[in-house]
Chain A
Amino acid sequence: MNAASAVALKNVARRFVTPSGDVLSALENFDLTVAPGEFCAIVGPTGCGKSTTLGLVSGLAQPQGGTVTLFDAPVTGVDRRVGFVFQQDAVFPWRDVLGNVMAGPLFRGVPRAQAEAEARDWIARVGLTGFEHHHPHQLSGGMRKRVALAQTFINKPEVLLMDEPFSALDVQTRELMQEELLSLWAQSGAAVLFVTHDLDEAILLADRVAVLTTRPARVKSVHTIDLPRPRNIATLRYDERFVAIARRLSDDLRDEVLRARREAMA
């Protein structure tokens, strides 16, 4: 892969028409680039349009202005190289774990036997061996996330979009899942665009963190996180370097949140 960028958003605008007929601008003049294999996190005030960016990159939504490219080619629709882990549970409740994980290959025309073998391999990699024939409602929230990760990684995505994937999990489970994600990502070599409202999570996981402004969202600043890899999620939090970065980003984000609140009050 010789592309300069895995994902690039240039001067992108995305607007919605509200039910009352007003035009609401979610993104304006939005610029962001993610290099191949890079882990980029997006943080910003609540409701600022973080998830909107992922919708545009996935091809599920189209921008009203600017260009969105994947490996230097414009996004025209859902791209096979893209994986997406959603905030809410998006595993199919009527399929068991095996059926969920092999869904992607089957949709893409892989023969059933091969899809099943791959799925069993991925189920083992996310630690769900023995749960192949459980249905999602029989699993815990963390296990359902593992299913979602296996379901996404089995398609070998080159670009992985993640929309606050761990926000619904308890703290301990979230930490485990973050470790899990980092090891899966390290083996996959995919570029990641990870949306979160949790600043610590962004710093622990990412190579770069983009801070967004309030709506309409633009990239306010991009911070490089030069913490060495492989990272230990459990102990990194107490590292001085982590604390310094967290303070810097937190100040940056707080300005934006305060500005959002002033605007909301005005």
Chain B
Amino acid sequence: MTDATAPLATEGRIESLAERQRRRWRMIIALRIIVFVLLVGGWELGVRAGWLDSFFFGQPSAIVDKLIDWIRNGTSIGPLWKQVWVTIYEAGAGFLIGSVLGVVCGITLGRNQLLSDVFSIYIKIANSIPRIVMGSIFIVALGLGSPSKIALAVVMVFFVVFGNAFQGVREADKNLIANARILGASNWQVTRAVILPSALSWILASLHVSFGFALIGAIVGEFLGAREGMGLLIASAQGSFDSNGVFAAMIVIAVVALCAEWILTTIEKRLLTWRPEVSAAGE
């Protein structure tokens, strides 16, 4: 994420704004690379000089070796791509189910005062439970396979999306609703033509956060008990005191999360073209 604010032209020097922005952008990229080199290089040097114990903290070069080894020869629990796929599948399924449920429930309760008055207390209670603990229950109930991980991811995603969808409905412009009703819209048409589009920016914002939550749900679920997946890979690396393996798995997961983020941002930009801010902001 970058900030959208352009530098202010303080001095009266004649210089095109585009050129200034390009220069600032180049500088930012250079600084980013410097930060990366300092952090990772410092880590590597620290280990080589003996300040850091590679047994506990790993070592960047060894992590890269580990990744290459995984890709070439597979991991201790099977081929790498299989573990990645299982985790993506569980997180993705949980994300889809959880966000659809969240949107449907959020809009239903947002549109119905009675339902929202009745259920608000239960939602608050359910939301205050540390949801990750539910993972143990799901594994007992649904077994070591994918369903228990999907269920945990659903629970992680649902409340975030629900909360945002509900708020989005409540924030919908009363004027627009009145206008739609006068123009002849039925309740369902008001929901589709006014409520849904105006809640959409809220919902999309929550989807960014909640894919991360779905991934956490899937991995923690695998961590608690599974036959395959990135969580199990981390757990088995931990079991053999292989900190490089834990870091390597983290990098794989980070790549997955960044890809999902990129896909979501692309979808968001396409859906929200009508908003003046969106086309101006972002990278």
Q: How far is the CB of A244 from chain B (nearest CB, A)?
A: 37
Chain B residues with CB under 8 A of A89: 175
Q: Looking across the interface, which residue of chain A has its beta carbon closest to that of B194? A: A92
Which of A17-25, A101-109, A122-130 has 4 or more CB atoms under 8 Å from chain B?
A101-109
Whether A107 pairs with B175 at a CB distance below 8 angstroms is no
Q: How far is the CB of B232 from chain A (nearest CB, A)?
A: 44
Interface residue? B145 (CB, 8 A): no
Instruction: Specify which of A92, A96, A135 is in contact with B176 (CB 8 Å cutoff).
Output: A92
Whether B275 pairs with A78 at a CB distance below 8 angstroms is no
Chain A residues with CB under 8 A of B276: 137-138
Whether B185 pairs with A86 at a CB distance below 8 angstroms is no
Chain B residues with CB under 8 A of A104: 183-184
Interface residue? B61 (CB, 8 A): no
Interface residue? A151 (CB, 8 A): yes
Q: Looking across the interface, which residue of chain A has its beta carbon closest to that of B182? A: A84
Chain B residues with CB under 8 A of A80: 184
Interface residue? A60 (CB, 8 A): yes
In whole angstroms, what is the CA distance A108 to B182 when docked? 11
Instruction: Specify which of A60, A83, A151 is in contact with B178 (CB 8 Å cutoff).
Output: A60
Whether A86 pairs with B197 at a CB distance below 8 angstroms is no
| CB proximity to A under 8 Å, residues B131-187 | 173, 175-176, 178-186
Interface 0/1 of A13-49, CB less than 8 Å to B: 0000000000000000000000000000000000000
Chain A residues with CB under 8 A of B120: none
Interface residue? A95 (CB, 8 A): yes
Whether A135 pairs with B183 at a CB distance below 8 angstroms is no
Interface residue? A73 (CB, 8 A): no
Q: Looking across the interface, which residue of chain B has its beta carbon closest to that of A157? A: B182
Q: How far is the CB of B193 from chain A (nearest CB, A)?
A: 7
Q: Contacts A107-B186, A107-B189: A90 and B179 contacting too (C-beta < 8 A)?
A: yes
Q: How far is the CB of A159 from chain B (nearest CB, A)?
A: 11
Whether B274 pairs with A93 at a CB distance below 8 angstroms is yes
Chain B residues with CB under 8 A of A53: none
In whole angstroms, what is the CA distance A60 to B178 when docked? 7
Whether A84 pairs with B186 at a CB distance below 8 angstroms is no
Q: Looking across the interface, which residue of chain A has its beta carbon closest to that of B272? A: A94
Q: How far is the CB of A56 from chain B (nearest CB, A)?
A: 13
Q: How far is the CB of B178 from chain A (nearest CB, A)?
A: 6
In whole angstroms, what is the CA distance A218 to B183 when docked? 29
Chain B residues with CB under 8 A of A178: none
Chain A residues with CB under 8 A of B189: 107
Whether A151 pairs with B274 at a CB distance below 8 angstroms is no
Chain A residues with CB under 8 A of B183: 103-104, 107-108, 151-152, 155
Interface residue? A88 (CB, 8 A): yes
Whether A78 pairs with B181 at a CB distance below 8 angstroms is yes
Interface residue? A82 (CB, 8 A): yes
Chain B residues with CB under 8 A of A82: 182
Whether B197 pairs with A92 at a CB distance below 8 angstroms is yes
Interface residue? A52 (CB, 8 A): no
Whether B175 pairs with A88 at a CB distance below 8 angstroms is yes
Q: Looking across the interface, which residue of chain B has its beta carbon closest to that of A90? A: B179
In whole angstroms, what is the CA distance A135 to B276 when docked? 9
Residue from the set A78, A86, A104, A107 with the largest chain B CB neighbour count within 10 Å: A107
Instruction: Specify which of B178, B193, B274, B275 is in contact with A84 (CB 8 Å cutoff).
Output: B178
Q: Contacts A95-B274, A104-B183: A90 and B178 contacting too (C-beta < 8 A)?
A: yes
| CB proximity to A under 8 Å, residues B31-78 | none
In whole angstroms, what is the CA distance A93 to B273 when docked? 10
Interface residue? A58 (CB, 8 A): yes
Q: How far is the CB of A212 from chain B (nearest CB, A)?
A: 22
Q: Looking across the interface, which residue of chain B has its beta carbon closest to that of A108? A: B184
Q: Contacts A78-B182, A93-B275, A155-B183: A107 and B176 contacting too (C-beta < 8 A)?
A: no
Chain A residues with CB under 8 A of B197: 92, 94
Q: Contacts A92-B194, A95-B274: A86 and B184 contacting too (C-beta < 8 A)?
A: no
Residue from the set B173, B180, B184 with the largest chain A CB neighbour count within 10 Å: B184
- 20 A-B pairs within 8 Å (CB atoms) are namely A78-B184, A82-B182, A84-B178, A84-B182, A86-B178, A89-B175, A90-B176, A90-B178, A92-B193, A92-B194, A93-B275, A94-B274, A103-B183, A103-B193, A107-B180, A107-B183, A135-B273, A136-B274, A137-B275, A137-B276
With A104-B183, A135-B274, A137-B275 known, 10 other A-B pairs at CB within 8 A are A78-B182, A86-B175, A86-B178, A88-B175, A92-B179, A93-B275, A94-B198, A107-B183, A107-B189, A151-B183
